[in-house]
Amino acid sequence: MRVLIIEDEHRLARNIATVLGEQASFAVDISADGEDGLHMAMTNPYDLIILDLMLPKIGGREILRRLRQAGKSVAVLVLTARDAGGDIVAGLDAGADDYVTKPFDMGELVARCKSLVRRAYDRPSPEIRVGELVVNTAARRVMWGGKVITLPAMEYRLLEYLALRGGQVVSKEEILERLYDFESERFSNVVEVYIFSLRRKLSARGGGPVIHTMRGQGYMLEDVSR
| pLDDT tens for each residue of 92-114 | 888 999 999 988 999 999 999 99
Q: Which amino acid is at 149?
A: I
How much is the pLDDT for 204? 66
3-state secondary structure of 211: strand
Q: What is residue 144's predicted lDDT score, i.e. its pLDDT? A: 86
* Separation of alpha carbons 26 and 157, rounded Å: 7
* pLDDT tens readout for residues 121-141: 999 999 998 888 899 998 999
pLDDT at 94: 86
CATH superfamily of this structure's domain 2-120: Response regulator (3.40.50.2300)
User: What is the structure's pLDDT at 112?
Assistant: 95
Residue 17: strand, helix, or coil? helix
Packing angle of the helix pair 85-93, 60-69 (nearest 10 deg): 10
pLDDT beneath 50, residues of the chain: 226
Q: With contact defined as beta carbons under 8 Å apart, do 37 and 57 qualify?
A: no
The pLDDT, as a whole number, for residue 208 is: 57
Q: What is the residue-wise DSSP string for 130-150?
A: ETTEEEETTTTEEEETTEEE-
Strand partners, 199: none
Per-residue confidence (pLDDT) for residue 188, from 0 to 100: 67
Q: Domain 127-223 falls in which CATH fold?
A: Arc Repressor Mutant, subunit A (1.10.10)
CA angle, 117 as apex, 208 and 41 as ends, to 5°?
130
Model pLDDT, residue 89: 84
Residue ranges of the domains in the chain? 2-120, 127-223
Query: What burial class does residue 129 get, using C-beta atoms within 10 Å of its C-beta: 0-12 exposed, 13-18 middle, 19+ buried?
Result: middle
